[in-house]
Chain A
């Protein structure tokens, strides 16, 4: 308020008067307005009388009095400005006024609201789906201090570690508060008298819980003291498992469980949030490694994931340097290790970097859709502002401040945004639910939900959209010359050179954006199709597979395991309807084989990395992998006979381009190569690389007879004509007769396994396709709307031309000419943008085939066709109008 009060006493006293005055101004607006009218009327009356006394005529005296006051309405406006909450009253009025305006122009309202709904809805939905994957930190204290530690080699930069290496890393590093190692495992859990159940477990080092920094819900978590050979076996339960299997029994701590045929004591239960299946997969129990002395010295088997918690103040880059140095030391000390290996620190994200990049890319495309929506709205609003030019001019002339008018435009836009947003939010809620239940149903724990942050995001989208598309037309309108407009020239606002350029620019932008989205989505979808359409090299139809785990001390001997699997295979083969039965170390090859090994080829210096799959003789027939040369395994390829192997075509062709691969010898690295003779060459099995974390280690595949190798858990694979359900119960029964402690699980048909792998790809393709379509529809609607409007504006001129004898075709061309030019410019820009996007795409996803020129040309042609259609419909309509009608209207 006025002046700066310098005395406390005066400040409080004035409120005695100020508060009632303000309350009245706020709550009794009508009364205050009447008072204002009366007060000014009184002033004018007094002044009129005074003027008359000075000798003016009565009319002149009155007129002069009104002039002197500077316009009664203007004074009122300025007086209203000093009242409190002026903005709120104005806003209310603007909103009411805006709503009334929208009701009067239903077609504009529907188009605009629909645009907001589609643009914002798509963004909110995709944000909901991607938010937990991309932006949410892991639910652990100071998650940015937790990092992955990977081993790298020329083949991959995400390799696991051996136990001995891990122990060295842990002992030598100076950068981690904790460095833990873990592996995903399966445990067999058998309560007396119940069928064995397979559990998902994490075997971890003792410092695991300390690293992740979450206290147990009940009991205690294990520590390093529980993690040594010979320690009392302990187990920590996940919340989900505790609820599911023990109904949340509060007395669970201290109970014992039979795990892998041994007894372990339950020492604690972790809180629900700790599981975070999105990152870990579903986990039932955690157990310490309690590694034996022998295991602790093992440097050859790499199966450990390492996680570190950085010391406060240590950056990931510093840790990276330190770990690289330690890795180098270890290599120098152990010359049998592959000397090309190194170490790498990667910050912890829920999804791997490649998937992150793809998701970001999809997100970018959605954003482009929103951009098109904005352009559309700006265009629609521009047209509407033009139609309302006279109204605005009149309001300006009778005292509406320019700022006020600008605000009315913005309010209109915001009202539209809020209406659109409030439809878009429940809609995207529904879409999110649909995606969550349709696509992520079998991914445990992926909670795709619409959260407050998403709502906030959607709302910000809606509001920002509103401001963008409201501000520009309002600004243009505020620049218009009042006199021009009042002189019956409503087009002057938007038909002027500046605004017209602006509108053309919007159309060009719209066409360009739509083409970029189209090109991006089409090349991505085509790329995904080509990945999924790749011949897998085996025949999934009629194949069934299930996993059998042999865990615990009963199966610690290789011979016992081998014998179990061979008996199992024979028993299953006796079941009705089995045409082929095999046991293998990996499941059906919808994902890369479980392990890869560095081999050495006799007579060659450099090591060769190949997948290392262990199979029984009927494996190839079961999956339908064709033999190319030599022979497959037979029952005679047993322990004690000549060690043999079968390799795939690509490996044979690459390693032995000129010789017959049959009879060549391939062995292992280290002092004792254990040479194996190549006896056969089979067709390549192709993994859907895209789905499987985007990196396939190698194109080489080696198969060894199960009877001659080491194997832990295994998969049973069958080719059968029977239904999966019927086979499942048979399998359970067969396994139970062999050992009731052994769980059979994960029964799935080959086709289903394949579909599961490509589900994400198909989702991505559908989403992208949907966006492209959405962008295209929005752009077409936008172009159509704007061109219709501007053609309608020229109706008078066109009618005149036709009345004077211009032929229909001439008029048509007149309207189309501009459209063709704009389409060409827009498509050109879009094509360049699309090619640029292709570059980005191929750097983001190196596995993806490069965008084809044909696709770009196709997208270009399609876009031009859509744009020209959008131009010609209003043009054609204009050329059809009866000139007399137009002229009469004029």
Chain B
């Protein structure tokens, strides 16, 4: 299946976990938060969001619950599980190691 464009593989998962680490949200709110935080730098289509969420849910990193939303309609709220929080920590650390390593390489000056 096609991956969201311009996103390193797996990073969408990381972003979603991070957003959900702050508070439980439904899909639309997650999409809003994603746009709000990352601006136009990261283009995530709304369509890619749901398959990614469902994948994380099936992996047990997040869990979902139907609750009444601000519109008065039932909405599916996602929240991080304990395993998901630990996984996020690991992945964050991993990501940071990776990016700092890449940054160091890119900082090399031509002699």
Contacts and interface: CB of A to CB of B under 8 A. Distances in A.
B47 A3 contact: no
A464 to B, nearest CB: 30
**Main secondary structure on chain A at its contact with chain B?**
helix
Contacts of B73: 42, 45
User: Which among B60, B62, B75, B76 has the greatest number of chain A C-beta atoms within 10 A?
Assistant: B60
Nearest to A2: B13
B54 A70 contact: no
A517 B19 CA distance: 71
A18 B73 CA distance: 27
A21 B57 contact: yes
Interface string B69-92: 101011110000111101100110
A36 to B, nearest CB: 8
B5 to A, nearest CB: 12
Contact of B60 (A6, A21, A69, A75): A21
Contacts of A25: 58
A78 interface: yes
B51 A18 contact: no
B45 interface: yes
Given A42-B28, A42-B76, A7 B55 contact: no
B75 A42 contact: yes
A845 to B, nearest CB: 58
Contacts of A75: 46-47, 50-51
Contacts of A2: 10, 13, 55-56, 59, 61
Interface in A1-53: 1-3, 5-7, 9-11, 13-19, 21-22, 25, 35-36, 38-40, 42-43, 45-47, 49
A17 B60 contact: yes
Interface in A668-722: none
A83 interface: yes
B47 A10 contact: no
A37 to B, nearest CB: 11
Nearest to B14: A3
Contacts of A68: 45-46
A38 B58 CA distance: 18
Given A2-B13, A2-B61, A49-B71, A17 B83 contact: yes
Contacts of B48: 70, 78
User: Which among A39, A68, A79 has the greatest number of chain B C-beta atoms within 10 A?
Assistant: A39
Contacts of A17: 57, 60-63, 81, 83
Given A78-B51, A82-B54, A43 B81 contact: no
A18 B59 contact: yes
B27 interface: yes
B86 A10 contact: yes
Contacts of B83: 10-11, 13-14, 16-17
A5 B87 contact: yes
A140 to B, nearest CB: 55
B1 interface: yes
B18 interface: no
Interface residues of B, number: 39
Contacts of A6: 90, 94
Given A14-B60, A70-B46, A39 B90 contact: no
B33 interface: no
A38 B56 CA distance: 19
Nearest to A76: B50
A317 to B, nearest CB: 57
A35 B50 CA distance: 12
B64 to A, nearest CB: 8
Contact of B54 (A16, A71, A79): A79
A757 interface: no
B86 A7 contact: yes
B76 A14 contact: no
Contacts of A422: none
B90 A7 contact: yes
A450 to B, nearest CB: 45
Interface in B29-55: 31, 45-48, 50-51, 54-55
A14 B59 contact: yes
A74 B47 contact: yes
A72 to B, nearest CB: 9
Interface string A71-112: 100110011011110000000000000000000000000000
Contacts of B56: 2
Contacts of A16: 60, 81, 83
A21 B65 CA distance: 11
Interface string A187-211: 0000000000000000000000000
A82 B60 contact: no
Nearest to B85: A10
Nearest to B52: A82
Contacts of A36: 50
B19 to A, nearest CB: 15
Nearest to B86: A10
Contact of A70 (B47, B61, B62, B86): B47
Contacts of B86: 7, 9-10, 13
A15 B57 CA distance: 11
A6 B97 CA distance: 15
A13 B82 contact: yes
Contacts of B27: 39, 42-43
A3 B91 CA distance: 8
Contacts of B81: 13-14, 16-17
Contacts of A22: 58
Contacts of B57: 17, 21
A15 B59 CA distance: 8
A133 B87 CA distance: 63
Interface in B80-110: 81-84, 86-87, 90-91, 94
Contact of A3 (B10, B63, B66, B74): B10
Contacts of A5: 87, 90
Contacts of B94: 6
Contacts of B28: 42-43, 46-47
A192 B83 CA distance: 90
Nearest to A17: B60
Contact of A82 (B45, B51, B61, B87): B51
Nearest to B30: A43
A1 B55 contact: yes
Interface of A: 1-3, 5-7, 9-11, 13-19, 21-22, 25, 35-36, 38-40, 42-43, 45-47, 49, 68-71, 74-75, 78-79, 81-84
16 contacts: A2-B10, A7-B90, A13-B83, A14-B59, A14-B81, A17-B63, A18-B59, A21-B60, A35-B66, A70-B48, A75-B46, A75-B47, A78-B1, A78-B48, A82-B51, A83-B58
Given A42-B27, A47-B46, 10 more contacts: A2-B61, A3-B13, A16-B83, A35-B76, A42-B26, A42-B75, A42-B76, A46-B28, A69-B46, A75-B51
The 4 nearest A-B residue pairs measured at CB: A70-B47, A18-B60, A14-B60, A14-B83
